[in-house]
Amino acid sequence: MPEELLPPPKHIAIVMDGNGRWAKKRHLPAAAGHKAGAANVREILEAARNLGVKALTLFAFSTENWNRPKLEVKALMALFSDYLDGHIDELKNAGVRLRFIGARDKFQPALLKKIQFAEQETQGNHEFTLTLAVDYGGQWDVLNATKILAQKVKKGVIDPEAIDEATFEAQLSLNDIEYPDLLIRTSGEYRISNFLLWQLAYSEFYFTDELWPDFKQAALTQAVESYQRRNRRFGGREE
């Protein structure tokens, strides 16, 4: 164990899992759990800022989530749209930059327009970055970066021998901010579920049994304190 505590993580990524189980425990429809989970984002965002965190990336909707029942997907998209309608001014005034990572090609035009508007309205903020991963998958991210580089090689823009880690990372999502120091997953599951496969290579992991709507400020503080007691070596070894 390190003699001194680490500083708070600059960037936290969260797999917000357990909305459906939260609703089921209360004999409510799945949509009610997703609504409660969306409401919790505001509290965790505020708590993260109070702890000195500078960036928060939330896994909101994966590429695999399109396979869920159509009514549930429809409710999720409506909830996503409502979130954009109700929080953009608040985030803008609070100095939060809102950004999105993911494929986007399956979104309805109206929702896509709201996403673009939200990014434009908050792009000048630099105090805090909130990233929502929607229609996102880590495998998609790596494959998409590979396709971009393949096209550049085909056009003669870049020599294949010149491709290194930095060149590849420049094509990935989150390429302009530091990768997550800490990954949190709620609901008692112990996997990353195709989230930020490249970017989490040296992140610290924290798993909790709490369902996402129940994961409050005290729980986030506990996760951060656990992180601060870690010894991060990034593959190296202390003398």
Catalytic residue selected from 19, 50, 65, 231: 65
Q: Using a CB cutoff of 8 Å and minimum separation of 24, what contacts does 114-121 make?
A: 114/81, 114/84, 114/85, 115/84, 117/84, 117/88, 118/84, 118/88, 118/91, 121/88, 121/92
Check: CB of residue 60 under 8 Å from CB of residue 230: no
Whether 175 is catalytic: no
Q: Which runs of consecutive H residues, i.e. helices, occur in the chain?
A: 19-25, 30-50, 70-93, 109-122, 138-154, 165-169, 217-228
- Which position has the token pair 């899992």? 17
Whether 144 is catalytic: no
Catalytic residue selected from 17, 135, 141, 181: 17
Residues serving a catalytic function are 17, 65
